[in-house]
Amino acid sequence: MNSAIEIGRILRKNKATVKSGNPVLQQEYTKCLSACVMVAAGATQRFLVNIGLHSPSIKHEASPRAQAEDEWFKLKREYYDEMGINPLLARIADSVPFDQMLNLTYDPAAIGKYQYIVQFGFYQGPILEENDETQAPIEFKPREAPSQIQEIAAFNGSSDALSGVIHKFMFGNGKIEPNEKEALEWLKFGLEHRDKRSAHNIALYYWTRNKTKSIEYLKQAAELGFAGSQNNLGWAYYKSDGVKRSVPDAVFWITKAAEQGETFAYGSLCQMHADGNVFKRDNVQAFKWCNLALWDMSDGKTRDNTVRAIDIIKTRITTQERRTARLLVQDWKPLSKTEINVGKWQYGATRDTHSWLY
139-149: pLDDT as tens digits: 555 444 555 77
Residue 60 has pLDDT above 50, yes or no: no
Q: What is the pLDDT of residue 22?
A: 66
What gap in Å lies between CA 321 and CA 43, rounded to an integer? 58
- Domain membership flag for residue 306: yes
267-316: pLDDT as tens digits: 999 999 999 899 999 999 999 999 999 988 888 888 899 999 999 999 99
Q: What is the pLDDT of residue 121?
A: 93
- Domain membership flag for residue 155: no
What gap in Å lies between CA 127 and CA 119, rounded to an integer? 12
179-230: pLDDT as tens digits: 999 999 999 999 999 999 999 999 999 999 999 999 999 999 999 999 999 9
- Domain membership flag for residue 49: yes
Structurally, how many domains does the chain consist of? Answer: 2
User: How far does Cα 255 stand from its chain's mean position?
Assistant: 23
Q: What pTM does this model have?
A: 0.62
Percent of the chain with pLDDT over 70: 85
Sign of the torsion formed by the C-alpha atoms of 26, 31, 35 and 36: positive
Residue 348 has pLDDT above 60, yes or no: no
- Domain membership flag for residue 205: no
Stretch 26-46: mean pLDDT, rounded? 85
Domain stop point among 78, 103, 119: 119
pLDDT mean across residues, the chain: 85
Do residues 286 and 274 touch, judged by C-beta distance below 8 A?
A: yes
- Domain membership flag for residue 29: yes
Q: Number of helices (H) and strands (E), helices first, in the chain?
A: 16, 5
Q: What is the pLDDT of residue 283?
A: 93
Domain stop point among 50, 84, 119: 119
- Domain membership flag for residue 162: no
Q: What is the pLDDT of residue 14?
A: 94
Query: Measuring CA to CA, how many Å separate 37 from each of 4, 41, 93, 110?
Result: 9, 6, 11, 22
311-325: pLDDT as tens digits: 999 999 999 999 999
Q: What is the pLDDT of residue 128?
A: 82
Q: What is the pLDDT of residue 147?
A: 55
Q: Do residues 229 and 343 both lie within one domain?
A: yes
Do residues 138 and 28 touch, judged by C-beta distance below 8 A?
A: no
* Torsion angle of C-alpha atoms 274, 276, 280, 282, degrees rounded to 10: 20
- Domain membership flag for residue 216: no
Domain that holds residue 284: 225-347
Domain at 287, CATH number: 1.25.40.10
- Domain membership flag for residue 136: no
Domain stop point among 102, 119, 136: 119
Q: What is the pLDDT of residue 312?
A: 92
Residue 110 has pLDDT above 80, yes or no: yes
What gap in Å lies between CA 351 and CA 305, rounded to an integer? 12
